Structure 1
Amino acid sequence: MEAGTCDNAAAGAPFVEKSSGHGDSSGGSDEEKRTMQRAAAAGVVECGSRMKRLFGFEREDLSSWHRLVCLLNRPADPASLGIFRFLFGMVMAIDITQERGLSHLDYKYLDGAPVCRFPLLNFLQPLPLDYMYLVYVVMFFGAIGIMLGCFYRLACLMFISTYWYVFFLDKTTWNNHSYLYGLIGFQLTIMDANRYWSIDGLRSPKKRNAQVPLWNYTLLRSQVCIFIVYFIAGIKKLDADWVEGYSMSYLAHHWLFDPFRMILPNEMVSLLVVHGGGLCLDLSAGYLLFFDATRPYGIFFVSYFHCMNSQLFNIGMFSYTMLATSPLFCYPDWPRRFFAHFPCFLRPVTVFV
C-alpha cells in the first residue's frame, strides 16, 4: 500500500506537476499567443502607417477593385490642380502664337506648300486662310478660358478640338511634346480643374473650392509625369549610342556646361553629365518626385534639367510646361499654405483662393 501509495504519490506527483506545469505552459502559451497577436496587429498598423506615409494609401486599399475605386475617388484639395490648370492654359496661349504658328500663319498654309499627311488621315485638309485664322483664334480663346477657368468645359473642348485638327494637318510638325500638350488638354477636359483659382468658382459658389476626386491627380502624375515623359524617355536612352556618350556629344561645348568643364575634360562632361546625367534623371525623376523625402531633390534636379533644356534646344514651351507639372507631386493644398504667408495688403491678389 505504501509502495502503492508511494507509487501513486510518486506517480501522482509527476502527473500533478505535469498537469500544473502543462496548465502553466498552456496559460503561458495562451498569453504568448495573445501577446503575439497584439504584436502582429501592432506590426500591421505600423506597417500600414508606414505605407501610408510613403505612398499615401494603405495596403488594404489595393485589396479589391471596390477598394481601389474608393481610393481613386477619395476627395482631394483642388488647389494644386487649379494652379496647374492656370499655368498650362497660360503656356498654351503663348505656344499657339509661337510653335503652333499663329504668328506666321500666312506662310505656313501657303497654297501649294508641300505637306506630309498622317496615315489614315489623308482626308484632312487645311481650310482657306481666313478660316484657319478663325480656327487658331478659337484655339487661343480656348487656352485663355482654361487659364482663367472661365466656361471651363467649353474652353477645353474649344482648345482640344482645334488643337488636334491643326496637329493632324501636317506630320512633319509632329514631336513628342506637341502630342503631350493635346493629351494633357484631353485629360483636363474630363477633370474638375475649375474648382480653384477660376472664374467659374466666382460665378458658382458650389464649384468654388469643392473637392476633386484623387484620380485627377493620379492620372496626371502617373501617365504624364512618370511614364510618358520621364520614364519612357529614360528607357529610350538605354541604347548603345546614348550610354556610350555619342548621341549628343556636341552639347558638352555649350556654355551651360562651363562649370563642369572646370573639373572635367569635354569627353567626360559629355559621357558623365550630358548622357549619364540625362539617363539617370529620366529613369528616376518620377520616383524622386513621388516620395516626400526625395521630392525637394527631385524638384531641384528636374527644374535645373528643364531650365537647361530651354537654352539647349528649340523646343518651344515644353520646358515650361514640364516645370508647371512638378508641383502636382506636392501636397494638394500647397497653394493655400503658400498664399497664407502673404502679407495682408496682398490678400486681394489671392481673391480666387
Structure 2
Amino acid sequence: MKNYLFRQIDNAPLIVFRIFFGFLLACETFGAILTGWVKENFIDVEFTFSHIGLDWLQPLPGIGMYFYFCLMGVLGLLVMAGYKYRWTLGAYTLLWAGVYFMQKTSYNNHYYLLLLVCIIMWFLPANTYASLDAKQKSSVKSLTMPAWCSWVMITQVTIVYFFATIAKFYPGWLDGTFTKNLLDRSVTIPVLHDIFTQKWFYLFIAYAGIAFDLLVVPLLLFKKTRTWAFIASLIFHLFNSITLQIGIFPFFALSFVVFFYPPEKIRSIFFKKKPVITEEIALKGSPYKTTLYYFFIPYLIVQLALPLRHHLIKGDVFWTEEGHRLSWRMMLRTRNGYTTYKVVDKKTGKPIPYNVHTKMTRKQYNSMCTKPDMIWQFAQRIKKEQAQKGIDVAIYAQTEAAVNGAPLKKLINSTVDLGEAEWHYFSHSPWIILYEDMESVQKQP
C-alpha cells in the first residue's frame, strides 16, 4: 500500500482539475455579482450573521464587496492559468474563507466544499504542467505526481457522498415529504410541476437520491461500471442544475470524475502531446511524503469526525440544528416559523418596543427565525445595541418552528434571557426545547 500511494503517476487528472477548478472559482464569484447574490447578502444589509465567534467579520462598507468579489474572480482565472499558483490560490482561499465565515443567511454546503478543496489544492503540485508557472520556470515542470494526490481527492468526495447518504435515512426523506416540498416550490413550468409533484415521481427522486449518493463512488472505482456511473452523474447533476438552480455545484461535483479514470486516459483526452510516463519514472520516490503524513491524514480524520459530532449532542439535529453545519447534511429539510423578541429594561421592568424587521432584510429574517444559533446571535446584538444607550436589558424570544411543513412547535424557551444565555459549541444549549417524538416534528401530517 505504501509503495502504491507513493508511486509516480501521470499528473494529467490533477492538472485538468486545476483548470476546471480555477474556471469554476471565477464563475462562482463573478456570477455572485451578476445574479445579485453579493448585493442581497453583503450590500443591502445592515450586518451579516457571521459564524459564532467571528462577529467582527463584517462586509466592507459601501460597494467594497463588489471589488472583493471581482478580485476573487481574477484570482480564480489566475489559478486556472497556473500563474504564481500558491500565491493566487492562497489569496483566493483566504478571501473565500472570509465570505464563508462572514454570513450564514445563504449557507450552502458547496461553499464549504469549495473552501476545503481550495485548502487541499494548495498542498498539491497542480501547477507543474500546462501552467504559466511551468512555462516560466523549468524547475517547476513535472509530468508526474504521487498516486496519493488522486486518492486524497477521491477520499474527500467519498466522505461527502457517504454522509449525505446516511443523513437521508429519516422519516421526512423516506416518505418523500421533503422531495415533494422541494419540487413543488422549485419547478415553475406547469406541465413539469404536475408531473414532479406526483407521488410516484417525488418518491422516485427521494430513493434515487439515496441510491446515487451511496453507489456513485464505488461504481466509479470499477472499470466495468465507471462510464455508466459517469453518465448517471451527468444526468443527476444536470437535473439538479436545471430544477434546483444551485450554481456551480453540479459542475464542481462532476469535475472530480477525472480522478477516477486512469491518468493515461485523461492524458489522451486532454493532453495528446504530453509524454507518456515510463515505468522507470513511475518507480521514483515521492518528495511529498511529509505532506501526506502530517497534513492530509489528520485532515481526513477531522473530516470523518465532524459529521458525527451531532450524535454526541443531546437532541435531534433536525430540530436543534446543533451539529448540522460542516456535516454534509445537504438539502434535507425545509424549516419555517417565526420569531419575535421581547426586550425588557432590567432596571424598570418595562418592555422596550423592538421591531426586528427594521434591522434585517426579509431573507435574513426568514433564515434567522428558525435557527437557534442565529436567534441567539441576534439577541446578543440587541443587548449590545441597548448597552450602547446605557440600558441593561433582558431579551426573550418567542419562537415557533416546523420541519418539512409539520405543525408549528415551540423551539426556544421563552422564559430564558438570551442576552445572558451561553452558546455551547460542542454540547446542547438547554434553552433549545427538545421533543421526544421527533417524527411528529419532522413529518408533514
Alignment partner for residue 293 of structure 1, among 224, 246, 261? 224
Using CA pairs below 8 Å that are at least 6 residues apart, which structure has the higher relative contact order?
1
Counterparts in 2 of 1:288-327, with a 5 A limit?
Answer: 288-327=219-258
Residue 197 of structure 1: CA displacement? Answer: 2.0
Q: Does the aligned pair in 2 maintain the 1:142–1:157 contact within 8 Å?
A: no
| Structure 1 equivalent of residue 143 of structure 2 | 210
| Structure 2 equivalent of residue 115 of structure 1 | 48
| Structure 1 equivalent of residue 388 of structure 2 | none
Identify the range of structure 1 (79-88 vs 121-130) with the bigger mean alpha-carbon deviation. 121-130
| Structure 1 equivalent of residue 215 of structure 2 | 284
Deviation >6 Å, runs of 4+? 255-258
Residue 75 of structure 1: CA displacement? Answer: 1.1
Identity %: 26
The whole-number CA distance in structure 2 between the counterparts of 1:289 and 1:152 is 29
Q: Which has more radius of gyration?
A: 1
State whether structure 2 residue 84 is matched by structure 1 residue 154.
no
Amino acid at match of 1:236: A
Q: Does the aligned pair in 2 maintain the 1:72–1:213 contact within 8 Å?
A: yes
| Structure 1 equivalent of residue 176 of structure 2 | 245
| Structure 2 equivalent of residue 177 of structure 1 | 110
Identify the range of structure 1 (326-335 vs 171-180) with the bigger mean alpha-carbon deviation. 326-335
Q: 1:176 to 1:187 in 2, by over 3 A?
A: same
Residue 113 of structure 1: CA displacement? Answer: 2.1
Residue 104 of structure 1: CA displacement? Answer: 6.1
State whether structure 2 residue 155 is matched by structure 1 residue 222.
yes
The whole-number CA distance in structure 1 between the counterparts of 2:190 and 2:131 is 38
Q: TM-score, normalised by structure 1?
A: 0.69
The whole-number CA distance in structure 2 between the counterparts of 1:339 and 1:87 is 12
| Structure 2 equivalent of residue 333 of structure 1 | 264
State whether structure 2 residue 76 is matched by structure 1 residue 143.
yes
Residue 106 of structure 1: CA displacement? Answer: 5.3
Q: 1:172 to 1:226 in 2, by over 3 A?
A: same
Q: Does the aligned pair in 2 maintain the 1:195–1:210 contact within 8 Å?
A: yes
Q: What's the C-alpha RMSD, in Å, of the aligned pairs?
A: 3.0
Q: 1:265 to 1:315 in 2, by over 3 A?
A: closer
Runs of 5+ consecutive residues of structure 2 not aligned to the other structure: 275-445
Q: 1:315 to 1:107 in 2, by over 3 A?
A: closer
Residue 187 of structure 1: CA displacement? Answer: 0.6
Residue 137 of structure 1: CA displacement? Answer: 3.3
Q: Does the aligned pair in 2 maintain the 1:226–1:285 contact within 8 Å?
A: no
Q: Does the aligned pair in 2 maintain the 1:243–1:276 contact within 8 Å?
A: yes
Residue 165 of structure 1: CA displacement? Answer: 0.9
Q: Does the aligned pair in 2 maintain the 1:221–1:328 contact within 8 Å?
A: yes
Runs of 5+ consecutive residues of structure 1 not aligned to the other structure: 1-60, 62-67, 342-346
| Structure 1 equivalent of residue 199 of structure 2 | 267
Amino acid at match of 1:219: V
The whole-number CA distance in structure 2 between the counterparts of 1:182 and 1:135 is 16
Q: TM-score, normalised by structure 2?
A: 0.56
| Structure 2 equivalent of residue 5 of structure 1 | none
Residue 330 of structure 1: CA displacement? Answer: 0.6
Amino acid at match of 1:227: I
Structure with the higher strand share, 1 or 2 = 2
- Secondary structure at 2:263 match in 1: coil
Structure with the higher helix share, 1 or 2 = 1
State whether structure 2 residue 126 is matched by structure 1 residue 187.
no
Q: Does the aligned pair in 2 maintain the 1:145–1:155 contact within 8 Å?
A: yes
Q: Does the aligned pair in 2 maintain the 1:93–1:144 contact within 8 Å?
A: yes
The whole-number CA distance in structure 2 between the counterparts of 1:339 and 1:117 is 41
Q: Does the aligned pair in 1 maintain the 2:51–2:101 contact within 8 Å?
A: yes
The whole-number CA distance in structure 2 between the counterparts of 1:256 and 1:313 is 16
- Secondary structure at 1:76 match in 2: strand
The whole-number CA distance in structure 1 between the counterparts of 2:61 and 2:55 is 17
Amino acid at match of 1:294: T
Counterparts in 2 of 1:230-241, with a 5 A limit?
Answer: 230-241=161-172
Q: Does the aligned pair in 2 maintain the 1:146–1:155 contact within 8 Å?
A: yes
